[in-house]
Chains A and B, each alone.
Chain A
């Protein structure tokens, strides 16, 4: 049905294109051709008419998928541990037009590794356009973080909220070294520690109104580049926005999201 519709649109598009090229330009009348439909030479994502975006997140640690408790991971600083809880905000997903303009879809999602359903998001209201970059925040923007109290993913009942200090816990990862039993607990937050990640779409060529985007969220990136993070030196428990370790971790997180695939 959709294909039929598309081919009809394409057929008429071509007819109109040809007929209008022979006619004198009519200034008063707008062309019924959607230039995005006829675009063939492009890179990135073309959304011909208002559409949606289906995002699937894969929590990884380097090349290994995150498996709670049983899997052991290690960092460049030599720390070895499992992950017992992993929760984070995935918000303000934005697309950048070729012209440079950013379109913020203003979503607030709380991802919990224990809840696989939370890792599949559907964002609607993507305006028609030709997009070359995406950007997402792993946390809560300063406006929502410091003013008022919201519902849905931002309901403080989820526990991702500081009661004694301003705002939300953006990112929580905790676990232990199973052989020594020594644990770690990292809660990141604070307006100054908001990781924003930008990814280019230039390696893709997809034209659709229902784009499917698979993203990798790589926990290994938290512990390196530019700062090597060591539990012994930088802390096993980060529970304030002002801890120096919080700055290191959030600085490292600016490249922790990457695109696995973008398809129709």
Chain B
């Protein structure tokens, strides 16, 4: 794993040094330049929907990235969004089950990785889109949560706006992105959401194989077949191979516990049928986003596969596609099947998406 990371960093460095940036501001007259999202040509990568009141602009995305990486957003200037959503680990908190807040507090959920977020708004048509429990419908509104949550960045919105307004740089950057120096909460979260929507991960070995730029290893190929079979049964929730996102943008109880400590979607809807349901995460970039599950209980992918193979716990809201395996305790995979599945999952990790820490 460590060796892998080292190689990935080299690859990333090379990648960024060669890549030509097509998103340069072109207009010096003051109106922001539209930001072109770079999408691969492969199947399913059609452009996602963007709210009409927050179009992506070069200046807005750049401002959003600066805000995302700036500890000024936390109560005591110690933490940025990137403290836990680490750019060098696909915006996850690699290796941390529960991230630490600005004052050392810890929550009860694992920091999710951030990429390909725009499609969640395109394909999840409910009002439950963001956070593990679907608490927020809107990416702009979502950003207010971690900034103000007392166990995360713990800031007061008025304090945040005042600090940014008094900053030597930010008023000018807001002018470039939004047309005036006035800083508001709405503009702060709009910029952050623009940056988040610009994060596209689409260049994993799996994608390269799809584009016929490389061949799948035999183990990877067997793992892929298992993935889409009723035996492996991953595809019902993590998407068929006709979708490049590896999530169905929905919520399920996968049987982690008989009685979970965290009620999941139920907390938001109050519907007993939603007990212990959590958002299906994408399987992309798993190599960089350990530990796994909403509560980060599994340190390795081997543990995750073992859970699905033999550790399913029954409960009334258990997903039907998991429940059908419960008579065998789970998927009951043999060692070779587990290794093949692991090889396939590894092939979904896109090292070119990792960004060197600034």
Chain B residue numbers with a CB within 8 Å of A156 are 141, 144, 157, 185
**Alpha-carbon gap, A156 to B149, bound state (A):** 13
**Alpha-carbon gap, A157 to B141, bound state (A):** 12
Q: Which of B130-138, B240-248, B282-290 contacts A (4 or more CB under 8 A)?
A: B130-138
Within the complex, the shortest CB–CB distance from A161 to chain B, in Å, comes to 7
Query: Scoring A residues 134 to 154 as 1 if CB is less than 8 Å from chain B, else 0, what string do you get?
Result: 000000000000111111000
Judged by a CB distance under 8 angstroms, whether A163 is at the interface is yes
**A161-B144, A164-B131 as given contacts; A149 in contact with B189, CB under 8 Å:** yes
**Alpha-carbon gap, A150 to B138, bound state (A):** 12
CB <8 Å contact, B138 and A166 = yes
CB <8 Å contact, A146 and B138 = yes
CB <8 Å contact, A148 and B140 = yes
Query: Scoring B residues 289 to 321 as 1 if CB is less than 8 Å from chain A, else 0, what string do you get?
Result: 000000000000000000000000000000000
CB <8 Å contact, A165 and B135 = yes
Chain A residue numbers with a CB within 8 Å of B22 are none
Chain A residue numbers with a CB within 8 Å of B256 are none
Judged by a CB distance under 8 angstroms, whether B270 is at the interface is yes
**A157-B157, A157-B158 as given contacts; A166 in contact with B137, CB under 8 Å:** yes
Query: Scoring A residues 175 to 218 as 1 if CB is less than 8 Å from chain B, else 0, what string do you get?
Result: 00000000000000001000000000000000000000000000
CB <8 Å contact, A242 and B269 = yes
Judged by a CB distance under 8 angstroms, whether A155 is at the interface is yes
Within 8 A of A (CB), among B146-188: 148-149, 157-158, 161, 184-186
Chain B residue numbers with a CB within 8 Å of A148 are 51, 53-54, 138, 140-141, 186, 190
Cβ contact of A240, chosen from B131, B161, B270, cutoff 8 A: B270
Chain A residue numbers with a CB within 8 Å of B135 are 164-166
Judged by a CB distance under 8 angstroms, whether B273 is at the interface is no
CB <8 Å contact, A242 and B270 = yes
CB <8 Å contact, A151 and B186 = yes
**A156-B157, A242-B268 as given contacts; A147 in contact with B145, CB under 8 Å:** no
Judged by a CB distance under 8 angstroms, whether B127 is at the interface is yes
**Alpha-carbon gap, A164 to B269, bound state (A):** 13
Chain A residue numbers with a CB within 8 Å of B148 are 163
Within the complex, the shortest CB–CB distance from A177 to chain B, in Å, comes to 28
Within the complex, the shortest CB–CB distance from B94 to chain A, in Å, comes to 25
Number of interface residues of B (CB under 8 A): 26
CB <8 Å contact, A149 and B268 = no
Query: Scoring B residues 112 to 144 as 1 if CB is less than 8 Å from chain A, else 0, what string do you get?
Result: 000000000000000100010001111011001
Number of interface residues of A (CB under 8 A): 20
**Alpha-carbon gap, A151 to B185, bound state (A):** 8
Within the complex, the shortest CB–CB distance from B144 to chain A, in Å, comes to 5
Chain B residue numbers with a CB within 8 Å of A161 are 144
Residue of chain A at shortest CB distance from B145: A163
Chain B residue numbers with a CB within 8 Å of A149 are 138, 140-141, 144, 185-186, 189-190
Residue of chain A at shortest CB distance from B149: A163
Within the complex, the shortest CB–CB distance from A202 to chain B, in Å, comes to 38
**Alpha-carbon gap, A50 to B149, bound state (A):** 46
Within the complex, the shortest CB–CB distance from A262 to chain B, in Å, comes to 35
**Alpha-carbon gap, A167 to B128, bound state (A):** 12
CB <8 Å contact, B127 and A146 = yes
CB <8 Å contact, A166 and B131 = no
Chain A residue numbers with a CB within 8 Å of B270 are 240-243
Within the complex, the shortest CB–CB distance from B92 to chain A, in Å, comes to 20
CB <8 Å contact, B185 and A147 = no
Residue of chain A at shortest CB distance from B138: A147
Within the complex, the shortest CB–CB distance from B273 to chain A, in Å, comes to 13
Cβ contact of A157, chosen from B131, B136, B185, B269, cutoff 8 A: B185
Chain B residue numbers with a CB within 8 Å of A155 are 157, 184-186
Query: Scoring A residues 84 to 113 as 1 if CB is less than 8 Å from chain B, else 0, what string do you get?
Result: 000000000000000000000000000000
Chain A residue numbers with a CB within 8 Å of B149 are 163-164
Within the complex, the shortest CB–CB distance from B275 to chain A, in Å, comes to 13
Within the complex, the shortest CB–CB distance from A159 to chain B, in Å, comes to 8
Q: Which of B136, B140, B158 has the most CB of A within 10 A?
A: B136
Chain A residue numbers with a CB within 8 Å of B138 are 146-149, 166
Chain B residue numbers with a CB within 8 Å of A243 are 270
A148-B51, A150-B186, A164-B149 given; 20 more Cβ-contact pairs under 8 Å: A147-B51, A147-B138, A149-B140, A149-B141, A149-B185, A151-B186, A155-B186, A156-B141, A156-B144, A157-B185, A161-B144, A164-B131, A164-B135, A164-B145, A165-B268, A166-B135, A166-B138, A167-B141, A191-B127, A240-B270
Query: Can you sample 30 A-B contacts with CB below 8 Å?
Result: A146-B127, A146-B138, A146-B141, A147-B51, A147-B137, A147-B138, A148-B51, A148-B54, A148-B138, A149-B141, A149-B185, A149-B189, A150-B186, A151-B184, A151-B186, A155-B184, A157-B158, A161-B144, A163-B144, A163-B149, A164-B135, A164-B149, A165-B268, A166-B137, A166-B138, A166-B268, A167-B137, A167-B141, A242-B268, A243-B270
